Amino acid sequence: MCSPGRPVGLPESSISRGPGREARRPRQSVSSTRPTKGATIPPVASAARITHRTASKAKVGLAGAALVILTGCNANFGLPASVTAQGDEVTRVWRIFFLTAAGVGTLVWGLILWSVVRYRRRSDELPKQTLFHIPIEVAYTTIPLIIVSVLFVVSMQATETVNARVHDPDVTVEVTGFQWQWRFNYPEHGFDIVGETGRPAEMVLPQGATVRVILSSTDVIHAFWLPEFMVKRDAIPGRINEFDMTVTQAGTFDSGRCVEYCGLRHDDMRFTIRVVPQAEFDSWAAGAQARGGTP
Ligand SMILES: [Cu+2]
C-alpha cells in the first residue's frame, strides 16, 4: 500500500510524511523567471479573471460530456428492451454495473479536473509533497473492495436466476446449429422447422410460456443469440446446452443469428423468433404437424 522512498529529485527535507509532519521545500531561487526591475506585475483582478475563465471551461466540458453520454443512451443505457424474464434480470444487473461505473468515473474525472484547476502552476514553488497518508490509503483500498464485492454478489445472484430451470417447461425446442442454418425441433409436437439459405428458420413460441431450449450442433461450434431475448449460448458438437426462456412479450424478432464465426457462410445463419398468443401457437403447431414440419 505504501511505497517507501521519496520522489525522484526531491531532497528528504521537502517531503511531508502525513499530517503533523509536513515540510515545505524552501523557495527555489530562479532568477531568470523573477520579474525584472520595471516589469509590469499582473494585478490581482486579472488573476481572478483567469481562474474564473478556467472554471467556466471546466463546467462547459463537463456539461458536454454529460450531454454526449445521456443522448447516446436509452433508459436501459444502450441495451434493447428485453422480452424475457431472464432478459429483465440481465437488464437489472447491467443498470447496476453501468451506474456504478458512471459514479466511479465521475468521481475520478472530477478529482482529476479539480486537481488540475486547484493545483495549477502559480509559481516556481513546488507544492507540498505527501507520503504515508494512512486515512486516504485505507479509503482507496477498502472502498473498491466493497464495490467489487457487492457487484460480485449481484452477478452471482443474477447468474443463478438466469440459469434456473423449471421442473416442467411449457414448450421444449431442440435447437441444432449446422452449416449454414438452424433446425428447430418440437419433440412434443413431432415436427422440425429447418432453415436454408435465403429462408431462415422461424421459431414460434406462445407468449407467457417458459421454453426449454436444448442446444447442440452437428458440425462446428455455432452460437445462438437473439438480442431482445438476451440469451447467448454456444452450440457445440457432441454437447448439450440447456436453458429456459420465459417469453413475456408478443412480437416478431428477426435479428437472431449465429455469433460464433463458423465458416465462410456464417452470415447466412440468421433466424427469427415469433411470439404469439397461446391459441395462435396451438393452431400454428397443428398446421405444422399436419404438413410434416418445414416450412
Ligand atoms: Cu456461425
Distance 175 CA to ligand 1 centre (A): 14
Between 24 and 268, where is the model more confident? 268
Mean pLDDT across the chain: 82
What distance in angstroms lies between residue 260's CA and the mean position of ligand 1's atoms?
Answer: 5
Question: CB of 226 within 8 A of CB of 80?
Answer: no
Distance 86 CA to ligand 1 centre (A): 24
243 vs 53, residue with greater confidence = 243
Predicted confidence (pLDDT) at residue 75 exceeds the cutoff of 50: yes
Among the listed residues 214, 234, 216, 217, the one whose alpha carbon sits nearest the alpha carbon of residue 225 = 234
CA 48 to chain centre: 42
Say if CB 109 and CB 255 are below 8 A apart: no
Distance in Å, CA 189 to ligand 1 centroid: 28
pTM: 0.72
Cα 82 to ligand 1 centre (Å): 23
Where exactly are the structural domains of the chain? 46-120+129-163, 171-291
User: So what's the pLDDT on residue 220?
Assistant: 97
Those residues whose C-beta lies under 8 Å from the C-beta of residue 178, and which sit 6 or more positions away, are 217, 218, 219, 222
Residue 260 CB partners (closer than 8 Å, separation 6+): 221, 222, 223, 234, 235
In CATH terms, the fold of domain 171-291 is: Immunoglobulin-like (2.60.40)
Residues 161 and 86 sit within 8 Å (Cβ to Cβ): yes
